[in-house]
Structure 1
Amino acid sequence: MAYKGFPQDLDVAWYLRKSREDLEAEERARREGRVDIDTLSKHRKRLLEISRQNCWTVVDIFEEVVSGELIDERPEVIKLLENVEARKYDGVVCVEIDRLGRGDSADQGIIQRAFRDSETLILTPDKAYDMNDDLDEEMVEFKSFFARREGRGISRRMQNGRVDSVNEGYYIGTYEPFGYYRDRNVGLKLLIDEKSADIVRKIFEWYAESGIGTSTIAERLNHMGIPCPSNTLRIRNNKPINPSRVWQANSILQILRNEVYVGKIQWRKTKTMRRRMENGRYKKIKSIDRPRDQWIEKKGLHEPIITNELFKRTQEILESRSNRELVKDRQFKNSLASIVICKKCGQKMQRRPYANQLPHLKCPTKGCMRSSQIAYVEEKVIEALREWYNSYKVQHGLIDQQLKKTKKRTSFATSILKELEEEIAATVQQKENLHKFLERGTYDDDTYLARNKVLSEQHKDLLSKKDAILKEVQQEAQYETTQQNVIPLVRHVLDVYNETEDLKEKNKLLKSVIHKIVYSKRDDAKDREFEIDLYPISRSTRI
């Protein structure tokens, strides 16, 4: 097919996304035993053809496999729009306008504004749309309006279908609860996986009958080598397990509270709220619980794993141990909050109170790093900060030498920048030659795309190196100014820190000059025998 009326020699990105209709068609084909429907593959061929005919260089390819309506539900389109706003492309190629989004009018405005302000074209097999052209903008708005209308109709049909499935006792969640599986060739009925169901029974018995806590249960399962729920799914789907995924107390709690184990199917338990970000985009905030009378709750077609009596006893114990109630007028009790991190696992250290001794700073990862009294850690932090301040008086005389070194490094970096710019120009020329090789038959379509991707990655890498060197030159040039701005702040912290008893104010003072504190302690060390590394707010190196 010959494409006429399109601009030539553009740098473009492809955006491919499956719509709800595509997902439904693929599901029907799968049930009919057909494997000839692959929406993205068909779309990819169409975009390759139009790109080849018009000598467009494919800089990036974004493939969205989710069918969310709003921008915040589609990570690939978020990346695409960020690049569009950065003027990375001359145009974005997609099979239809509505593939970019069928969200509400606010989302459509975000998409259209991004393309209009960056002067980036929207390229489809039928037409090139320039959002700075009044007629093109009206046409995009017209098509988007009907696409949204159609999308809402499809969404209503799908939601009604889900509700009907729940009312019939089917489980329609994305992933089966641990202890169950589904045979999708049969339907959405949950079937018991006896091996993992035995683990579920053990979890309830340990908690409700043996009095074992959730953290200890998680630790026991990990010690027994039992795969966690996510790794169980990966094993079932013939995928390699993720060694970093293990049982956690929270995953035990989710199982203990899940009423699916007593034969219930529940739907619409939560509602996702959204708020508008500063850049005008929607952002999800955590789901809020709906009142129980708004749930859809039915008896499932599946067999229960846990008896009603055991589940009820478990909920009573959970309720008695619950600490969900908000504590009014909660006091700030940790001057080192959110600053100290564990050297071994990278988690932020937390305050742990004790009945018979002073509070400790403890790693939240069980068995990871030995704790120390907060008072000892705080004392050592101030001591280290004071030593650094005093040493600066000696270092101050070396500033001139530092500046001389900076000038030498800047000169060296300039020569490297020149070499990088030459390499960048060479990769641009190589990308331009790709189209010639494709037209001559030297490259087939797959080779063209593969080579284009390699060259694009090389180009990105060179640009990244260039940006890094420019950033380093800028940092070195500002070295003296940065140091002289930090020193008065450190002096101020040291002067007033011990004069206040407000722990929140102390925490604020430390955060004004310290980016993070890395804590480490040997297993055989005594309480005061620990090490800390301070990283100032202005630089990434230790002090």
Structure 2
Amino acid sequence: MNQKTISSDARVAVYIRRSRDEDGIGIEELLKNHRQRLQVFMNEKGFEGVEWFEEVASGGSIDGRPEFKRLLSNVQAGHYDAVAVIHEDRLTRGDEEDRGKIKNIFKATGTLLLTVDNRIIDYNNPTDLLTSGFTGLMSEYEKAQILRRFRDGKITAVQNGTPHSGTTAYGYTWDKNTKTAEVVQHEADVLRMMVDWYLKDGLSAGQIALKLNDLKIPSKRGGFWHSEVVSTMLQNDFYTGVVYYRKYKTEVDFVNDVVKYTSKLNDDPETVIKARGNHTPLITDYEHAEIIKRIEELRKYKSKDRRVRKNTYRLSGLIYCPHCGLCQGLMRRKGMANRTHVRKCLKKSTRRTPECDDTRGIREDYVFEAVKMRLQQYRDTLFAPTEPSDDNAAMNSLSRMIKAHEAAIEKARKHFDKIKEMFMNDIIDMDEMKEEKQRHSDIIKRNEAELTKLRMNKDFHDEERKEQQRKLWSSDDVERVFNNELSDSEMNDVLRLLIVRIVYQFNDEGGVDIEITYR
């Protein structure tokens, strides 16, 4: 085969790689553009039976490009006469070792490299090899310069109080004009509600996620809330008004010959840059410290040990000291008809008060029977019929408004597929597509903001809570609790769904006052 010619019946492979969306039109769209250019090139040359390789990956290492590794293996096996790419650096950009490995395989098999600007590169040709080497060095220099400018830009941004990368935290939106994170008020209100639930009401991250989902408040990505997301948000000190550079580091590992990137907290504080951000804080330093303190206290206990103690008795994890607010333990006393006993407050904590020493233990069955009676009364109230009122009319109006906003969001989302289809059929151009997508995105954002405000309305919140409670309290398991048809462990599982906490205190008449907080 001639060095600078290639016949139309040659065996050809095509490799397409994109590492980032430089033009803001989406990786898939960029891949499609490259695919079209290379298809035109293939048609012009008359190549048939072409094998295509496509991937989205950085060009820094062969190990991070699984499709390219597969292509290189085929080249080494002599499957192709030539490989076509948009530009030579799509194939050989990387360190000197990788570039040398690629060139040696192409050289040993006599495989040519074709580019869409009609270059035919033969690595057995000294001139082509020299030109390619110079191109590779320039590509490596360009890559190093890009990385340096990218790194310097991030450091400068952080020092100026600007978050340098990543998705903007819930409660904020990125303003490209002011170059800062601006508060999204309806999301900020939700965050404040989460902080209050966690610190004041003592709810767990999982319980907060359930409440948000019950209220149909969407997460940052428009989906459901999960305990891990809530926990991560509450711990995020970006909400206290700080920004970082190198707070996290990326570790590279290879699993089954596939590169895997893992982000971990940087354990070298000297390399971390921290600065006061120019965004508005949504959580105070004191609140953040209290959140971290509570999470650290929970981490002191191994999950296995917590599970063992969680529901041994009917009221495990439900009875709290009225003074320090910490959970009181239960124990089974031998020699007293094997009865379960609620222990006095014995917790050693900075929250402990002198009044904790005056608390008294009590038989668990006394508390349980009183609680069961109160639960039955609460259930009767929950299901009691209500008279029509102006409040009911207001709730109906609120529900209609919510449905209207939900319908508007659904309609706008359906338009995205239509916009893409119109662009693919050349009915609209790229600028028109971007304009339409932005317009419908704005419609969705406006309606989601109004929807969140309506769902945070106290009347709606209360009605939604009552509806969820009615579903929960009408279950067969609740009836089985009243009829003592469950084991202690099963009963505890059901009671935890109904009750947040139980507090008891002995009064001056020698009786016991019991206060129950329901979910």
| Identical residues among aligned pairs (%) | 30
Q: For 2:259 and 2:128, locate their aligned partners in 1 and report how far apart those are by CA, in whole Å.
A: 26
> Quick check: 1:246 aligned with 2:224?
yes
Query: Does structure 2 conserve the Cα–Cα contact (< 8 Å) formed by 1:70 and 1:104?
Result: yes
Instruction: In structure 1, give the amino acid aligned to 2:137.
Output: F
Per-residue deviation, 1:94: 1.4
> Quick check: 1:159 aligned with 2:151?
yes
> Quick check: 1:311 aligned with 2:302?
no
Relative to structure 1, is the Cα distance of residues 354 and 324 closer, same or farther in structure 2, using a 3 angstrom cutoff?
closer
Q: For 1:164 and 1:136, locate their aligned partners in 2 and report how far apart those are by CA, in whole Å.
A: 41
Query: Does structure 2 conserve the Cα–Cα contact (< 8 Å) formed by 1:221 and 1:247?
Result: yes
Relative to structure 1, is the Cα distance of residues 276 and 220 closer, same or farther in structure 2, using a 3 angstrom cutoff?
closer
Match of 2:200 among 209, 226, 242: 209
Q: Could you say which residue in structure 2 is the equivalent of 1:93?
A: 84
Match of 2:243 among 260, 265, 273: 265
Q: For 1:129 and 1:250, locate their aligned partners in 2 and report how far apart those are by CA, in whole Å.
A: 52
Which secondary structure does the structure 2 equivalent of 1:287 belong to? strand
Which secondary structure does the structure 2 equivalent of 1:274 belong to? strand
Relative to structure 1, is the Cα distance of residues 304 and 73 closer, same or farther in structure 2, using a 3 angstrom cutoff?
farther
Per-residue deviation, 1:108: 3.3
Per-residue deviation, 1:292: 3.0
Which secondary structure does the structure 1 equivalent of 2:52 belong to? strand
TM-score (norm 1): 0.48
Instruction: In structure 2, give the amino acid aligned to 1:6.
Output: I
Query: Does structure 1 conserve the Cα–Cα contact (< 8 Å) formed by 2:246 and 2:266?
Result: no
Q: For 1:128 and 1:324, locate their aligned partners in 2 and report how far apart those are by CA, in whole Å.
A: 66
Relative to structure 1, is the Cα distance of residues 82 and 101 closer, same or farther in structure 2, using a 3 angstrom cutoff?
same
**Where do residues 165-184 of structure 1 align in structure 2 (5 Å cutoff)?**
165-184=157-176
Q: Could you say which residue in structure 1 is the equivalent of 2:136?
A: 144
Per-residue deviation, 1:174: 2.9
Q: For 2:301 and 2:269, locate their aligned partners in 1 and report how far apart those are by CA, in whole Å.
A: 18
Query: Does structure 2 conserve the Cα–Cα contact (< 8 Å) formed by 1:171 and 1:188?
Result: no
**Where do residues 477-488 of structure 1 align in structure 2 (5 Å cutoff)?**
none
Deviates more, 1:129-138 or 1:218-227: 129-138
Query: Does structure 2 conserve the Cα–Cα contact (< 8 Å) formed by 1:273 and 1:284?
Result: yes
Match of 2:183 among 179, 186, 192: 192
Per-residue deviation, 1:302: 1.0
TM-score (norm 2): 0.50
Which secondary structure does the structure 1 equivalent of 2:8 belong to? coil
> Quick check: 1:291 aligned with 2:268?
yes
Query: Does structure 1 conserve the Cα–Cα contact (< 8 Å) formed by 2:240 and 2:282?
Result: yes
Query: Does structure 1 conserve the Cα–Cα contact (< 8 Å) formed by 2:205 and 2:230?
Result: yes
Per-residue deviation, 1:113: 6.3
Q: Could you say which residue in structure 1 is the equivalent of 2:325?
A: none
Q: Could you say which residue in structure 1 is the equivalent of 2:421?
A: none
Q: Which digits, 9 at most, give the CA deviation of each residue in 1:421-470, with x for residues without a partner?
A: xxxxxxxxxxxxxxxxxxxxxxxxx99xxxxxxxxxxxxxxxxxxxxxxx
Q: Could you say which residue in structure 2 is the equivalent of 1:451?
A: none
Q: For 2:308 and 2:74, locate their aligned partners in 1 and report how far apart those are by CA, in whole Å.
A: 48
Which secondary structure does the structure 2 equivalent of 1:306 belong to? coil
Query: Does structure 1 conserve the Cα–Cα contact (< 8 Å) formed by 2:17 and 2:90?
Result: yes
Q: Could you say which residue in structure 2 is the equivalent of 1:7?
A: 7
Instruction: In structure 1, give the amino acid aligned to 2:225.
Output: W
Instruction: In structure 2, give the amino acid aligned to 1:303.
Output: T
Q: Could you say which residue in structure 1 is the equivalent of 2:361?
A: none
Relative to structure 1, is the Cα distance of residues 227 and 89 closer, same or farther in structure 2, using a 3 angstrom cutoff?
farther
> Quick check: 1:301 aligned with 2:293?
no
Q: For 2:107 and 2:198, locate their aligned partners in 1 and report how far apart those are by CA, in whole Å.
A: 59
Q: Could you say which residue in structure 2 is the equivalent of 1:482?
A: none
Per-residue deviation, 1:261: 0.6
Q: For 1:254 and 1:18, locate their aligned partners in 2 and report how far apart those are by CA, in whole Å.
A: 31
Per-residue deviation, 1:219: 1.6
Relative to structure 1, is the Cα distance of residues 274 and 217 closer, same or farther in structure 2, using a 3 angstrom cutoff?
same
Which secondary structure does the structure 2 equivalent of 1:182 belong to? strand
Please, what is the CA RMSD of the aligned residues?
4.3
Which protein shows a greater Rg? Answer: 2
Per-residue deviation, 1:148: 1.2
The runs of 5 or more residues in structure 2 that have no matched partner are: 314-423, 426-476, 488-519
Query: Does structure 1 conserve the Cα–Cα contact (< 8 Å) formed by 2:55 and 2:65?
Result: no
Query: Does structure 2 conserve the Cα–Cα contact (< 8 Å) formed by 1:264 and 1:298?
Result: yes
Q: Which digits, 9 at most, give the CA deviation of each residue in 1:370-410, with x for residues without a partner?
A: xxxxxxxxxxxxxxxxxxxxxxxxxxxxxxxxxxxxxxxxx
> Quick check: 1:52 aligned with 2:30?
no
Relative to structure 1, is the Cα distance of residues 40 and 312 closer, same or farther in structure 2, using a 3 angstrom cutoff?
same
Which secondary structure does the structure 1 equivalent of 2:113 belong to? strand
Q: For 1:174 and 1:116, locate their aligned partners in 2 and report how far apart those are by CA, in whole Å.
A: 42
Relative to structure 1, is the Cα distance of residues 222 and 76 closer, same or farther in structure 2, using a 3 angstrom cutoff?
farther
Q: For 1:229 and 1:79, locate their aligned partners in 2 and report how far apart those are by CA, in whole Å.
A: 37
Q: For 1:193 and 1:205, locate their aligned partners in 2 and report how far apart those are by CA, in whole Å.
A: 19
Q: For 2:311 and 2:153, locate their aligned partners in 1 and report how far apart those are by CA, in whole Å.
A: 59
Q: Which digits, 9 at most, give the CA deviation of each residue in 1:465-514, with x for residues without a partner?
A: xxxxxxxxxxxxxxxxxxxxxxxxxxxxxxxxxxxxxxxxxxxxxxxxxx
Per-residue deviation, 1:9: 3.0
Per-residue deviation, 1:526: 10
Query: Does structure 1 conserve the Cα–Cα contact (< 8 Å) formed by 2:242 and 2:276?
Result: yes
Q: Could you say which residue in structure 1 is the equivalent of 2:472?
A: none
Relative to structure 1, is the Cα distance of residues 100 and 324 closer, same or farther in structure 2, using a 3 angstrom cutoff?
farther
Give aligned pairs, total: 312
Q: For 2:281 and 2:486, locate their aligned partners in 1 and report how far apart those are by CA, in whole Å.
A: 51
Per-residue deviation, 1:149: 2.0
